């Protein structure tokens, strides 16, 4: 019997992924996923198309979990919060992310103005064209910079121009952690701290529980086995659920090229589902 395989963190072209919802689901079918959470940045636009594609594959299609990755601030840290099993069609939720999209568009114009000031001219239309139908962000600017030969890689784009402290860096007006967890739980979902190993602020996590954090992404592509064990143990101490995912964006370039979190058990997945207000 084939072991169940889950992935509770993935992205599509609705935000900064490189595969459409349908392409992502077809990849999930090829890799025999049992369930896949579509968790685009600050948008739920990719979920219905993913479910349509999964349905087209009959019993081979994975269960598509409606999810979201919310950008938030906590004290002096920038954090990402995954919402799993959200009721993504709630009108108030759709409106909230429509407003967030407008703020992201305004941010792109500010980034391009800063690039212009250091002699790098990029047309806004070129950046928005990279975001085929959704959330636009710094990765799309980086992609244009690579295309134009200004830089050779995404990493160089962020190091030289777009990263924190670089000449064209513009912060994003984010909600608070409490706002993010309230948003997710109001929509019936479970709020999980994404990739805490990248945050590198473990001392903040116990206090985050007081602000509504329900789970922690112990298993992530960038977490070593030892780090994952540390977060599993932390979850046990703090009474948090354990989630895991690939954080898949593309089949080439940086980041994982495969879907699936092989460490996440059926028991852990069932606990997350049970905690959601379906």
* Domain definitions of the chain by residue range: 6-90+189-275
188 φ/ψ sector (left φ>0, alpha ψ -120 to 50, else beta): left
At the topology level of CATH, where does 6-90+189-275 sit?
TIM Barrel (3.20.20)
pLDDT higher than threshold 80 for residue 172: no
pLDDT higher than threshold 60 for residue 1: no
Closest CA to 98 of 56, 134, 47, 148: 134
164 φ/ψ sector (left φ>0, alpha ψ -120 to 50, else beta): beta
Nearest-angstrom CA–CA distance, 215 and 217: 7
pLDDT, mean of residues 150-173: 90
**8 Å CB contact between 82 and 217:** yes
| Maximum distance among all Cα pairs of the chain, rounded to whole angstroms | 60
**DSSP assignment letter at 180:** H
pTM for the full predicted model = 0.82
Rg (CA), the chain: 18
- Tokens 């134009």 correspond to 148
Closest CA to 241 of 270, 263, 274, 272: 272
pLDDT higher than threshold 60 for residue 121: yes
**DSSP assignment letter at 62:** P
pLDDT for residue 164: 84
pLDDT higher than threshold 80 for residue 129: yes
Higher pLDDT: 131 or 153? It is 153
pLDDT for residue 134: 57
Rounded to the nearest 10°, the torsion over CA 8, 139, 177, 169 is 160
Identify the band that residue 80 occupies on the pLDDT scale cut at 50, 70 and 90.
very high
Tally Cβ neighbours within 10 Å of residue 206. Answer: 13
Nearest-angstrom CA–CA distance, 158 and 31: 32
């Amino acid at each position: 019997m084939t072991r169940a395989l889950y992935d509770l963190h993935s992205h599509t072209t609705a935000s900064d992924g490189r595969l459409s919802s349908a392409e992502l689901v077809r990849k999930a079918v090829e890799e025999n996923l049992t369930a896949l959470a579509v968790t685009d940045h600050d948008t739920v636009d990719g979920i219905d198309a993913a479910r349509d594609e999964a349905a087209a594959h009959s019993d081979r299609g994975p269960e598509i979990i409606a999810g979201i990755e919310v950008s938030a601030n906590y004290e002096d840290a920038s954090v990402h919060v995954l919402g799993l099993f959200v009721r993504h069609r709630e009108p108030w939720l759709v409106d909230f992310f429509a407003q967030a999209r407008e703020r992201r568009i305004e941010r792109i114009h500010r980034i391009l103005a800063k690039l212009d000031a250091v002699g790098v001219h990029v047309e806004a239309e070129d950046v928005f064209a990279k975001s085929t139908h959704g959330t636009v962000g710094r990765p799309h600017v980086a992609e244009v910079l690579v295309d134009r030969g200004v830089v050779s890689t995404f990493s160089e784009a962020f190091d030289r121009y777009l990263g924190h402290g670089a000449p064209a860096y513009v912060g994003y007006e984010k909600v608070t952690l409490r706002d993010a967890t309230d948003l997710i739980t109001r929509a019936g979902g479970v709020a999980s701290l994404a990739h805490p190993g990248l945050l590198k602020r473990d001392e903040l996590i116990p206090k985050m529980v007081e602000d509504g954090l329900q789970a922690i992404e112990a298993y992530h592509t960038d977490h070593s086995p030892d780090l994952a064990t540390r977060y599993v143990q932390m979850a046990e101490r703090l009474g948090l659920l354990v989630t895991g995912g690939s954080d898949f964006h593309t089949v080439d370039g940086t980041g994982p090229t495969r879907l699936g979190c092989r460490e996440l058990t059926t028991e852990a997945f069932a606990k997350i589902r049970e905690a959601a207000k379906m």
